[in-house]
Structure 1
Amino acid sequence: MHHWMDASHPLARLQRAWMESVLEAVEVETEFLNACTLSNAKVWSCLAGARSLADSASLHSCYHEVAKDMTDAHMARLGKVVELPEDFKQRLWEEI
């Protein structure tokens, strides 16, 4: 076994910190894509309802709700994305 593969080796610890940050970034994107999927399903549900098509106020309300959901999801995503570099720096600092 190579010495650099030892979990206590600095390069192995740095690689672990980097991988943890990559996984967090993937989780952030997965959460956002899930919100997109749910919003898309909500729009299709509204469009599938014959009552919604006949009632423009109901359709408008549905679109407004979906737009709010997507705005909230996007803002949450941005907040988490801003935190990712700081979390990575903190992990690196802990490993040094």
Structure 2
Amino acid sequence: MKHSNEKQPTSSDDANQDIAAWWQHYCLLSTMPIVRCQVAWLENVTQAMQLEAELFQAIAKSSEKLTLCLTDNNKNCNAKEFTEQYQEMVKTLTDANIERFTKVSQLSHEFRRNLWEEI
């Protein structure tokens, strides 16, 4: 009789473990799409931040060139050189900003595509 009583709790423990394993499996499956959507969102945010960093880098380089033109002690920056440096800076910043806008507009399409793939 003891032998049958010992098997009984073991089988119910096995059944409980099976139910817990089943529940855990389907619980994880139900949260995976949400996690994948969040990962897609974080990847797009990271790309947007990289684009902003690239723009700031272009601004810094252009400002440095213009500042060097104004503060260089070896040669004086006349109006013509200053105008050329300023126009070059504006062109560089305009190109960097246009490239940034192009890439940012693609991010929203990629993000929507990633979301639909996960859904």
1:74 and 2:119 are equivalent in the alignment? no
Which residue, 27, 40, 59 being the options, matches 2:82? Answer: 59
Distance change >3 Å, CA 95–CA 52, structure 1 → 2: farther
CA distance in 1: counterparts of 2:42 and 2:76, whole angstroms = 46
In percent, how many aligned pairs have the same letter?
Answer: 34
Deviation at 1:61, TM superposition (A): 0.8
For the 8 Å contact 1:52–1:58, the answer to whether it is kept is: no
Instruction: Give unpaired runs (5+ residues) of structure 2.
Output: 1-23
Larger radius of gyration: 2
For the 8 Å contact 1:43–1:62, the answer to whether it is kept is: yes
The answer to which structure, 1 or 2, has the higher relative contact order (CA under 8 A, 6+ apart) is: 1
For the aligned residue pairs, the C-alpha RMSD in angstroms reads 1.9
Distance change >3 Å, CA 52–CA 94, structure 1 → 2: farther
CA distance in 2: counterparts of 1:52 and 1:72, whole angstroms = 28
For the 8 Å contact 1:43–1:63, the answer to whether it is kept is: yes
For residues 50-87 of structure 1, the C-alpha deviation after alignment (integer angstroms, 9 at most, x for no partner) is: 4342x221111111111110111111111111111101
Deviation at 1:23, TM superposition (A): 0.6
Give the partner amino acid of 1:56: A
For the 8 Å contact 2:40–2:111, the answer to whether it is kept is: yes
